[in-house]
């Protein structure tokens, strides 16, 4: 159980999308000693925190300079999912960082007396798609498909093994699609398409997708720092309002002040076209359902989403407009 006295936190991935938002919150809102593990030296990335240069994340990384007197580790750094992977053996590359790198980090943390290790995993450990009305739960049997998801599942299993062998607690969070100010990848592309008035053949999609606003994920991680019931558990979370791709596009358009130009085309035509263009994975994300059940998170932690989908989309769109 984590005490309530002033705590020391070590955060990896502090310059990433999630890590930077979490570091900003911890510096501004909480009475913690915050240490940032960085790949390379950056001058005062978050004033009020302490930075330690660790280098690349792999099985040989020496974490000892950063782990001194640390109570809780929050590990957000990872080799992330790549849509168009070009290397010959991506699983090997994912394992070097996400499995070997993570477990090396955790073993050193346990040896240095760290009390809790919070690991940001992925809903892809559960699988790629859900059947309508049957959302993923935290206690489902894992069913990872691609190399990224497999590496995340293997790292989770290794972390729980370390927890059994040591006194260090482990907390796993598997977020679905995370969005917020500064979001990149597909969500950013979607905002670009809408802002440019590009016609999109997605006006009649009736799937259901769980999303997780950046602010809500940060709030959940902060909750897991001290909550006694978080120890050695897996948590799923969302904004609590699953929406279709069509609904998402319309809401983003409204937030951008540009009506999304949606064309209603039958899903089977989109699927066939996507396969012909080698974009089957993208069509799955646009057309398929992926819902999460966060009842366990709510029951054990008393956690509820802090912001709604509408609020989070507006905030994301406003940041996008400012950047353009």
Residue closest to 208 by CA, chosen among 289, 108, 266: 289
**What CA–CA distance (Å, rounded) separates 3 from 71?**
10
Task: Find where tokens 């310059």 sit.
Answer: 15
148 in active site = yes
Mean pLDDT taken over the chain: 92
Tens-digit pLDDT profile for residues 194-212 = 999 999 999 999 999 999 9
Tens-digit pLDDT profile for residues 36-66 = 999 888 877 888 888 999 999 999 999 999 9
pLDDT level of residue 277 (50, 70, 90 thresholds): confident
> Can you give the pLDDT at residue 289?
95
For 179, which DSSP code?
A: E
Residue closest to 20 by CA, chosen among 5, 38, 7, 8: 38
Which of 32, 119, 148, 179 is flagged as catalytic?
Answer: 148
Q: Quick one: tokens of 323?
A: 């950047």
Give the CA count within 13 Å in the CB-facing half-sphere of 186.
15
> Can you give the pLDDT at residue 248?
97
**What CA–CA distance (Å, rounded) separates 145 from 254?**
35
Task: Find where tokens 């992926």 sit.
Answer: 290
100 burial via Cβ count (<10 Å: 0-12, 13-18, 19+): buried
* pLDDT mean over 292-320: 97
Domains (range + CATH), the chain: 7-179+211-239+291-306 (3.40.50.720)
**What CA–CA distance (Å, rounded) separates 252 from 259?**
9
**What CA–CA distance (Å, rounded) separates 175 from 100?**
21
Tens-digit pLDDT profile for residues 225-274 = 999 999 999 999 999 999 999 999 999 999 999 999 999 999 889 888 88
């Amino acid at each position: 159980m984590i005490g309530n006295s002033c705590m020391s936190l070590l955060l990896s991935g502090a310059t990433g999308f999630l890590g930077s938002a979490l570091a900003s919150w911890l510096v501004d809102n909480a009475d913690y000693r915050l240490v940032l593990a960085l790949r390379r030296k950056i001058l005062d990335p978050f004033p009020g925190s302490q930075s330690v240069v660790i280098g690349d994340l792999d099985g040989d990384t020496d974490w000892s300079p950063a782990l001194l007197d640390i109570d809780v580790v929050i590990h957000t750094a990872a080799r992330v999912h790549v849509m168009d992977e070009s290397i010959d053996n991506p699983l090997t590359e994912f394992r070097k960082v996400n499995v070997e790198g993570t477990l090396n980090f955790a073993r050193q943390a346990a040896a240095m007396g760290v009390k809790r290790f919070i690991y940001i995993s992925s809903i892809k450990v559960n699988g790629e798609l859900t059947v309508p009305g049957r959302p993923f739960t935290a206690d489902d049997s894992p069913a990872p498909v691609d190399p990224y998801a497999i590496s995340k599942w293997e790292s989770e299993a290794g972390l729980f093994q370390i927890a059994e062998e040591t006194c260090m607690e482990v907390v796993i969070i598997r977020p679905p699609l995370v969005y917020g100010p500064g979001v990149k990848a597909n969500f950013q592309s979607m905002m670009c398409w809408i802002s440019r008035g590009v016609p999109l053949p997605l006006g009649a999609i009736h799937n259901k997708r769980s999303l997780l606003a950046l602010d809500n994920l940060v709030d959940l991680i902060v909750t897991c720092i001290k909550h006694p019931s978080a120890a050695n558990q897996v948590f799923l979370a969302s904004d609590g309002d699953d929406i279709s791709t069509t609904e998402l596009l319309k809401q983003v358009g409204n937030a951008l002040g540009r009506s999304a130009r949606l064309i209603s085309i039958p899903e089977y035509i989109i699927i066939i076209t996507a396969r012909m263009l080698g974009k089957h994975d993208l069509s799955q994300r646009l057309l398929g359902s992926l819902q999460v059940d966060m009842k366990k998170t709510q029951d054990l932690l008393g956690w509820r989403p802090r912001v709604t989908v509408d609020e989070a989309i507006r905030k994301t769109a406003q940041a996008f407009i400012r950047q353009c």
